[in-house]
Structure 1
Amino acid sequence: MSGSVTEERITWNTGEQSTVMYDLGVVPQPVGEAVVLAGGRVVSGKFKGRTVLSPGAQITINPLQCATAKGVELITGPSTLEIL
């Protein structure tokens, strides 16, 4: 579980906007890859007050970087935005 807070600004295809504050993050890392579940609330704009979940799988583009002193700087992959 993460103790940090992340803010995301979304612009919808209608031009409306939402600001989401994620205050829950669970990031288990089986075999070095991240399986992410972030949760929070829409704090302004469209869907204000609604709960949000964003599950996804983030993979390491270059797994050999794990063995370097610099480490992995970027993970990427699909995620979903669920507004409850």
Structure 2
Amino acid sequence: MEYDDGEQSLIVYDQGTTTRTLGFLDVMLSGRVTEGRGKGRSARRTVFFAPPKQLPTECLSSGIRGNSGDAQLEILP
């Protein structure tokens, strides 16, 4: 990842969970900062996706054009 000041960090994720409820998808990844700012600290990334506006079967014909969601990255002390 790159910070506003141009400094970078490399985060390696080694664990993850996925939960689906009523079409909503919640993905949580955890790992460590291995290089750059925060090196050695734990990191957690949470991504939340709303249900897609297209049917999943549309990938067989026209293709799914994309989806949107929210993401949060935490570098823990």
TM-score bracket for this pair, using the shorter chain length: 0.7 to 0.9
Q: How many residues align?
A: 74
Q: How many Å apart are 1:21 and its aligned residue?
A: 0.7
Alignment check: 8 A CA contact 1:60 1:74 kept: no
CA distance in 2, matches of 1:26, 1:73: 25
Q: Any gaps of 5 or more consecutive residues in structure 1?
A: 1-9
For the pair 1:15 / 2:20, whether they are aligned, the reply is no
Aligned counterpart, 2:15 = 24
Q: Any gaps of 5 or more consecutive residues in structure 2?
A: none
* 1:67 aligns with one of 37, 57, 65: 57
Aligned counterpart, 1:49 = 40
Q: TM-score when scaled to structure 1?
A: 0.73
Call closer, same or farther: CA 1:14–1:75 in 2, change over 3 Å: same
Partner SS state of residue 68, structure 1: helix
Partner SS state of residue 16, structure 1: coil
**Segments ≥4 residues shifted beyond 2 Å:** 59-63, 67-76
